[in-house]
Chains A and B, each alone.
Chain A
Amino acid sequence: MTARTADTAMAAFEHTTARWGRLTMIAVLVISIAAPASLIIFGDFGITVNQIVTAYLAVAAVYLVFAVVEPVTYFPIVGQAGMYQVFLIGNIANKLLPAAIVAQNRLNVKPGTRQGDLAAVMAICGAAMVHVTSLLVFVGFFGTWLLSIVPAEITEIAQLYILPAILGAVVVQAAVTVKQIRSTVIAVAAAAFVIYVLLRVAPVLENFYVAIGVLITILGSWFLRKKTVTPDPETGAPQGG
């Protein structure tokens, strides 16, 4: 196994995942628009184009910015191949990235290395299968029955506290997996600064808070890095060509 074989293998992987990632994403885009379109075309709901445009613009006013900011925010973490996976099924911060971190932690590989990237892609595939199967079975088939037996109280607690319950654990596992103590300290400091200072001074930045936290952490980690450390050979940084 030479460096050249490894380079070729990863190039082929990038090529395949980029092409098929794009194609599958376009397919899903078409189907997800065809769903409501079929209702409008085959049903007789007396809906005007104007009503749809008005409704969408109202939604876009809230969410369109995320459709631009989130891809930019998560690209440095998941890379090209992962982008077409995670933005297809969503649940990025609460499910897919935690799954990737667990797998990297389990195999003891770091994010950003080749082994780390492949482990993440496999983990996200595993999570995607659980996602699809569980939705089909528990919502598709048994959903209406479960709706009648799950106490509203349980659903309410899950809805309210699921995100903090996931995130606390993920932060710890991420810190252990990434093994960059400086970056961890910088990340926590940046987060505290953004949430408790910046957003209070400039609430208009609210939609960008994750991106700002990520950017400060990247810049901080870069400028405050240990300058003597040589780059990790595992990343397979090209050596002169």
Chain B
Amino acid sequence: MRIQDRKDPGMDPATSTDIWAVAQSPLLWICALLVFAVIGVQSWIYVRAAKRAGEGIGMSTEDLSRAFRSGAVASIGPSLAVLLVAIALLTLFGTPAVLIRIGLIGSAATETASATVAAGTMGASLGGEGWTQQVFVVAFTAMCISGGAWLVGTLILTPILKRGGSTLQKVNPAAMALIPGAALLGAFAILTMNELPKSGVHVVAVLVSAAAMAVMLFIAERFKANWLKEWALGIAIMVALAVSYFAHNGA
């Protein structure tokens, strides 16, 4: 509950709303590029490890490369959406902060909400009244600590869960054959179901996307068009978004 002092809009970080002067700092750029470099290194190590393991279990390098390519192609559609939203956030946070927060765990929705809440504790609103350099730095710090909590949670919980999984695997291998698939279906069924009550257009988006995928998978199976299995997700997303666009504006 602070009343913004507006008498000196000059260089004082407590009043200056020139976020970009701070947000384009070279230090932030270095951190952003380092984060991306580490993600690249991790993927490189994982690919090598997977290829070596593939030899041992009789899975060809060809199949593994195909899996890599499928994943890359499948992620193009979802990436486009992430990019659009990330670009929209640039005015609020500047380029490197967006790269760090959208590049790592967290979504546009999470980060926007976190920044709003953090700014609120200083009596400011996101991108609006009182969104000064000082508020930006405090909000960005809170967002980074909050994002870090997921990493800490993962680092602590994964070894514990792994032990549980290994025990279950020994005691009851049939359960471990069933659980990953069931968990996957459970997660996506409920994530999807959660979209339905939001609006009629959400229902349309889900149904069109599901129908497009069903048709494409049928065609892929029928005509042995395996490439379609890779592109189907991207196409389904675009078709669903196009229909949603008209439903949104027509309704």
Shortest beta-carbon contacts, A-B, top 5: A9-B56, A123-B71, A217-B186, A237-B173, A168-B209
Do A36 and B140 touch across chains, with their CB atoms under 8 A apart?
yes
Q: How far is the CA of A12 from the CA of B91 in the complex (A)?
A: 46
A205 at interface, CB cutoff 8 A: no
21 A–B contacts from the bound complex (CB under 8 Å): A1-B56, A6-B56, A24-B38, A25-B151, A56-B142, A75-B157, A95-B78, A122-B47, A135-B36, A139-B99, A147-B87, A147-B91, A155-B85, A164-B198, A165-B236, A168-B209, A173-B217, A186-B182, A235-B173, A237-B169, A237-B174
Tier of interface size on chain A: 35 or more
Q: How far is the CA of A109 from the CA of B201 in the complex (A)?
A: 34
In the complex, chain B residues 112-151 whose Cβ is within 8 Å of any chain A Cβ:
113-114, 117-122, 133-134, 137-151
Given A55-B118, A70-B150, A103-B70; A166-B145 close (CB under 8 Å): no
Of the candidates A45, A172, A191, the one whose C-beta lies within 8 Å of that of B134 is A45
Do B137 and A91 touch across chains, with their CB atoms under 8 A apart?
no
Do A164 and B209 touch across chains, with their CB atoms under 8 A apart?
yes
Do A55 and B121 touch across chains, with their CB atoms under 8 A apart?
yes
Q: How far is the CA of A85 from the CA of B72 in the complex (A)?
A: 15
Do B158 and A71 touch across chains, with their CB atoms under 8 A apart?
yes
Do A5 and B209 touch across chains, with their CB atoms under 8 A apart?
no
Q: Which chain B positions have C-beta within 8 A of A134?
A: 79, 82-83
Do B122 and A131 touch across chains, with their CB atoms under 8 A apart?
no
Q: How far is the CA of A124 from the CA of B184 in the complex (A)?
A: 15
Interface residues of B: mostly helix, strand, loop or mixed? helix
- Number of residues of chain B lying within 8 A (CB) of chain A: 161
Q: Which chain B positions have C-beta within 8 A of A98?
A: 74-75, 78, 233
Q: Which chain A positions have C-beta within 8 A of B150?
A: 66-67, 70-71, 87, 90
B18 at interface, CB cutoff 8 A: no
Q: Which chain B positions have C-beta within 8 A of A58?
A: 117-118, 120-121, 142
Q: How far is the CB of B196 from chain A (nearest CB, A)?
A: 7
Chain A residue with Cβ nearest B109: A159
Do B206 and A167 touch across chains, with their CB atoms under 8 A apart?
yes
Q: Which chain B positions have C-beta within 8 A of A68?
A: 153, 157
B84 at interface, CB cutoff 8 A: yes
